[in-house]
A = this chain, B = another copy of it.
């Protein structure tokens, strides 16, 4: 995890304190269920909860672990220091360490998903706001980086909104994938613990019982989770790349917000770099890098091997923390993006109307000119624009054959930008349910 690309709320999920807190809750709830079954004394189960208010001493647990070489045992030892050996000896009965560790991981992933969902809501809000604001701000649409036909900046924001809304849906499902817990013992047979304990603990933690586990919760769930983060990260890169393109010197249709006081801005006013979106491009690669190891983690030997564990110690915090940071950063970029409608119009007109040549072709054909004829008419006027810097509309208005076919109104109609924006409302209704 790279501190400068982290935010406290998400980072806290992965702290030792949070981990031990969840461990405690699992053990305490399990004791309740065991007491209800009559397996352990009710007083012991109650006694465990006396530790509820306690801040666990991470340094002390580490100290014990250095001796026992086992993290869960170290924690249980520390817990018994708090609630007393006498009551604590019933804690963890019939359970295996993985029951605690795997259920905890999933609690952490669910919490992480909740933050990410909130992040995406913020991003969706920002995208919608900017889409509405620029619904009718005309800019040139580009295929292959080359001018094609007009579109609007609102449509650009709207499609990012639609993409991120899909991402949110996927994340919801990914959250569901990992919202399971398991308290099923050494090889998942419940040999030494009743399934009702699992049910109780899961209900208390907002999880559902894993229908069938081995020593561990199956890792196809986590693979799907991280693959989903990878897709969302790729969508972030998609948005970031659009902005990087818009900000490049020759295009300059938008800029990341650059505070007045930011050094260097006035002596080199052109030198405003899209560093946030470039950074997001890199962060997307980092988040995506979790996907392959997560896929490789699915295969475990028999009822479990521990190869997945070191991987998850890395990608668990890293992918969620960096994605959280990236979503928040992107939200800020969108909210504050400085849009330049005048530059958009200037770019659109860069080739003095040539962008409409396709429509002229169509209009001529519809007016009865043959395909070849229409093509030749367009071509001779287009070349004047291209080679001599003429204005396309003026040339067409001055071309007798074209005028015969289309007339002034016909020519003017071709250059009417309204033609390209007439279905924007339809599309907005599809995306936002409103206009």
Contacts and interface: CB of A to CB of B under 8 A. Distances in A.
A127 to B, nearest CB: 12
A268 B357 contact: yes
A204 interface: no
Nearest to A139: B302
Contacts of A362: 192
Given A220-B234, A295-B234, A314 B307 contact: no
Given A147-B249, A266-B383, A310-B5, A223 B234 contact: yes
B311 A267 contact: no
A231 B218 CA distance: 12
Contacts of A212: 155, 158-159, 162, 427, 430-431
Contacts of A1: 1
Contact of A143 (B215, B223, B382, B426): B215
Contacts of A244: 144-145, 301, 305
A282 B263 contact: no
* Total copies of this chain within the assembly: 4
Given A2-B310, A212-B430, A299 B142 contact: no
A215 B378 CA distance: 24
A269 B390 CA distance: 13
A59 interface: no
Interface string A221-238: 101100110110111011
A275 B278 CA distance: 24
Interface stretch (A29-37, A46-54, A346-354): A346-354
B146 A271 contact: yes
A145 B191 contact: no
A408 interface: no
Contacts of A385: 269
Contacts of A150: 187, 189, 191
A166 B221 contact: yes
Interface stretch (A75-83, A115-123, A394-402, A416-424): A416-424
8 contacts: A69-B262, A141-B189, A142-B302, A144-B275, A147-B249, A250-B350, A270-B351, A285-B292
Sorted nearest first, the 9 A-B pairs with minimum C-beta distance are A141-B187, A282-B310, A145-B248, A144-B273, A234-B298, A142-B302, A281-B307, A250-B250, A211-B430
Given A220-B234, A250-B251, 17 more contacts: A144-B274, A148-B187, A149-B189, A159-B214, A162-B218, A163-B220, A167-B220, A186-B358, A189-B420, A195-B423, A212-B427, A230-B291, A233-B295, A249-B351, A270-B386, A282-B310, A286-B310
Interface of A: 1-2, 4-5, 68-70, 89, 140-151, 155, 158-159, 162-163, 166-167, 170, 173, 177, 185-192, 195, 209, 211-215, 218, 220-221, 223-224, 227-228, 230-231, 233-235, 237-238, 241-242, 244-245, 247-251, 262-263, 266-275, 278-279, 281-283, 285-286, 288-293, 295-311, 313-315, 318, 322, 347, 350-351, 354-355, 357-359, 361-362, 371, 375, 378-379, 382-383, 385-386, 419-424, 426-427, 430-431
